[in-house]
C-alpha cells in the first residue's frame, strides 16, 4: 500500500505549479500634496492591474477627483 501511495503523492506534488509572483493594485487618493492609500487588491498580472487601476481612476462608480493607483510586483 505504501509503495503505491508514495508515487501518487509525488506525481501530484510535481504537477502543481506554484506562482511565486504576486501583483497588487494599490488604490489611493491624493489631495493638496497628501496621499492616502485606501485599499490593496491582489490581481493576476501587471496588465490586469493597470487596466483595473485606470478603470478605477477614470470610469469607476463614485468618481472623486484625485483618485490614483499604483501597481506593485510582490514576491
Domain count, the chain: 1
Total H helices, total E strands in the chain:
2, 3
Residue 14 lies in a domain: no
Residue 9 lies in a domain: no
This prediction has a pTM of 0.61
Name the band, by pLDDT with cuts 50, 70 and 90, for residue 22: very high
Residue 25 lies in a domain: yes
- Residue-wise pLDDT for 32-43, tens only, equals 778 787 889 999
Residue 4 lies in a domain: no
CA distances in angstroms from 25 to 17, 30, 69, listed in the order given:
23, 16, 7
Residue 10 lies in a domain: no
**38 vs 14 pLDDT, higher one:** 38
Instruction: Give backbone dihedrals phi and psi of 48, rounded to 5 degrees, phi first.
Output: -65, -35
Instruction: Give backbone dihedrals phi and psi of 20, rounded to 5 degrees, phi first.
Output: -80, -15
Work out the average pLDDT over 17-36. Answer: 80
Residue 8 lies in a domain: no
| Residue span of the structural domain in which 45 resides | 21-73
Amino acid at each position: 500500500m505504501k509503495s503505491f501511495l508514495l508515487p501518487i503523492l509525488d506525481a501530484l506534488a510535481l504537477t502543481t505549479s506554484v506562482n511565486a509572483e504576486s501583483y497588487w493594485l494599490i488604490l489611493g487618493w491624493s489631495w493638496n500634496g497628501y496621499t492616502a492609500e485606501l485599499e490593496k487588491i491582489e490581481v493576476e498580472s501587471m496588465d490586469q492591474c493597470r487596466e483595473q487601476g485606470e478603470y478605477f481612476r477614470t470610469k469607476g462608480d463614485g468618481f472623486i477627483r484625485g483618485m490614483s493607483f499604483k501597481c506593485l510586483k510582490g514576491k
